[in-house]
Amino acid sequence: MTTHTTKQRILDSLAPVLAHSAYVSINEERLEAFAEELAYDPVPPWDNHLQFLGTPEQTMQYYFFLDSINCCFWAPKEGKRWKYFISEGEWLQGYYAFSKAIKDAFVRDERLFDASYVAEMSDTDFYAIFRGEGELLLLSERVAIIRENFAILRDTFGGSARTFFEAAECDVDRCVDLLCTHFPTFRDQEKFEGRTVYFLKRAQILPSDIAFALPDEPTVQFTNLDHLTVFADYKLPLILEAFGVLEYAPELLAKIDAEELIPRGSREEIEIRAHTIEAVERLRDAVERAGTVRTVREIDWILWVKAKHLTYRHPHHKTPTTSY
């Protein structure tokens, strides 16, 4: 078993970033005020209409596919954002377009439950999952990740996501460690002043998604869910900045407003993600002081859903990456 928690590993690695930041900071006064508001927000229900729910084995296989490529649902400046057709006159964008497209594909083609098939999946079959208007970003990178991850799943875990979770003994820390050990594309980490910084967004969100989707399934009653950090993406810093919790240096905000691409691994991008994680850790503590006990993953879910229903003065930062 792992001798450290996922949270400790990540937070310890962020310390140098937080201590030497040039572009991002946390406004403690606004954080406390925002926590007072969050203390009254319930945890939103899980959506099993726009996400797949079948047998436990099928559901785990679906989320392993989805979270292998759970990233980048935006479009570059002047680009056309990908949309997915739902029904007459109804289109979806963003994550739920992505999750519904994959759900529909799994319902339509049972071969997607077969790791051997997915490991050899053709570009044509993969791209057909995301037909619609516009084009989902990083399609060629996504199909390469899918083939690699399902080949590893086939060769190491008998092709079964359930077998993988059983190998992790439903321990979140062990699950994250096993993902990062066996599946290179889950290793979401960067270098900052010569030191490794860990974010591990997709490696953490996979067990969290399974726990939300299958709350009553006894074989995936994860322990140590409180060992997860927030899943640092681009939506969460957007809402934290909008409420004044995160503050950006003028030069960084100008780049974001101009929709300039912020390179993966750049100091600006690392600082945004590091402060997002730290801010939500502090928010959790402040929400508890306000009288409501929440795990970080519950706050993550509250913030993510809340972010979808707001309008913003500034766009989110745009980093082309398969990490988030």
Supply the residues annotated as catalytic: 233
Beta bridge partners of 24: 248
Sign of CA dihedral 295, 69, 115, 48: positive
Say how far apart CA 11 and CA 52 lie, in whole Å. Answer: 32
Q: Give the closest residue to 62 by CA, choosing from 27, 104, 95.
A: 104
* CA–CA gap between residue 93 and residue 300 (Å, rounded): 20
Q: Are 17 and 271 in contact (CB under 8 A)?
A: yes
Directed axis angle between helix 267-289 and helix 235-242, to 10°? 60
Read out DSSP for 187-200? Answer: --EEEETTEEEE--
Q: Measured between alpha carbons, how far is 52 from 66 in angstroms, rounded to an integer? A: 10
